[in-house]
Amino acid sequence: MATHDMADAANLLVIDRLTKRFDSGAGLFAPRRSMTAVRDVSLGVSRGSVVGVVGESGCGKSTLARLVLRLLEPTQGTVHFDGVDLGKLAPRDLRRARRRMQMVFQDPYSSLDPRFTIEQVVGEPFAVQGEALPPGRIAELLDQVGLAGEIARSYPHQLSGGQRQRVGVARALALRPDLLVLDEPTASLDVSIQAQIIKLLQDLKQDLGLTYLFISHDLGLVRYFCDRIIVMYLGAVVEELPSPSTEPRHPYTRALLDSTFSPDPGKRRHLASLTGEIPSAFNLPKGCAFAARCSRASSRCLSERPTLTTHASGHRAACFHPIVADEKEPS
């Protein structure tokens, strides 16, 4: 894989061949084991765009989010933010760089300190940066995320799930960042509230010129919200779609799409598209990680690991037998 898009100044974030391995310590009964949560992931996020990272549990999407903000140290690879290699920054400079990149977490119930008032929650980033809180900033932030000013003196338990997630967004916006990493920001909310939060994020992006890295398990939502889509399976990128309407070439992306239930009773599917489940990341097969569940798998898929190959501009898939548009041509 080339270090694609690397030199492109349009990219606010460039992730290059990022790998994270976790080692589990040997216990009384357990031998030392290691698993690669993220393997050799490269991607660029251009300014003002929304890049979606989609996959099921264990695909490494949340680890990737933490690597981007350097909440975790990568085993290999680099993260460049606005041209600066975050791995080369001293702790103090890293803290300064983090002002410009913030995260919104999945669960607004556990990501807000229950003993803090909303005012304290939203003002905390200033305290962390050792700065005075600009007067009126809390009210302004609450207004930006559609919350009434009175909420400032409430505690998290007094708010609904949707309100809490708005507080999470307000806290992320406090220091006027350029990039938000959104890690499943709506996964624990009702669909009605999910739609509200997505609308809010779209409006904020427009008004504040933000760039998003959006992590989700929901391909339907990612296709609605994102400009480009990265599909991950067991730690590796299996496909990159240049636009939400691009037809998938990787059988896993196809299966994810087929597993998304359409809210239309006229379009019923009668067969589950995929059998089996995701194998353990501690015990990865030698070849393609998806081969055991794939109907197109050949003996080559079991012995050799496919790498990302470009099919069209910006469209890459890691598959020896990609799906062809009308499925009549030989693959």
Partner 1 sequence: MGLLEVDRLSVGIGRLTLLEEITFEVDRGEILGLVGESGSGKSLTALAIAGLLPLIGARVTAGAVRFDDTDLTRLDEYRLRKFRGRRIAFITQNPMTALDPLQPVGEQVDVVARLHLGLPADVARSRTIEILTQLRIPEAATIYRQYPHQLSGGMKQRVVIAMALAGEPDLIVADEPTTALDVTVQAQIIHLLTSLVRERGLALVLITHDMGVVAQCCDRVAVLYAGRLAEQQGVRSLFAAPAHPYTHALIDCIPKDGMARGSLTGIAGSVPSVAHFPSGCRFHPRCIGRQSVCEASVPAATALPGGAVACHFPLNGDARHG
Kindly list the residues in this chain that would bind partner 1 in the complex (CB under 8 A). Answer: 56-57, 160-163, 190-199, 202, 217-221, 223-225, 245, 255-256, 258-266, 268-275, 277-278
Please, what is the minimum distance in Å from the beta carbon of residue 26 to partner 1?
A: 20
List C-alpha distances in Å: 254 to 208, 259, 311, 327, 329. 34, 9, 16, 13, 18
Q: How far apart are CA 248 and CA 323, in angstroms?
A: 7
The Cα 166–Cα 185 span in angstroms is 10
Cβ distance to partner 1 smaller for residue 40 or 258: 258
Least distance in angstroms from the C-beta of 161 to partner 1? 8
Separation of alpha carbons 57 and 277, rounded Å: 11
Cβ-Cβ contacts under 8 Å for 317 (sequence gap 6 or more): 238, 239, 240, 248, 249, 250, 253, 308, 309, 311
CB of 192 to partner 1, least distance (A): 4
Q: Which is nearer to partner 1, 193 or 323 (CB)?
A: 193
Smallest gap from residue 198 Cβ to partner 1 (A)? 6
Beta carbons within 8 Å of 199's beta carbon, 6+ residues apart: none
Q: Which is nearer to partner 1, 14 or 219 (CB)?
A: 219
If the CB atoms of residues 279 and 314 are measured against partner 1, the closer one turns out to be 279
Distance CA 65, CA 217 (A): 14
Q: Which is nearer to partner 1, 129 or 260 (CB)?
A: 260
Question: φ and ψ at 36, to 5 degrees?
Answer: -100, 105
Q: How far is the CB of 164 from partner 1 (least distance, A)?
A: 11
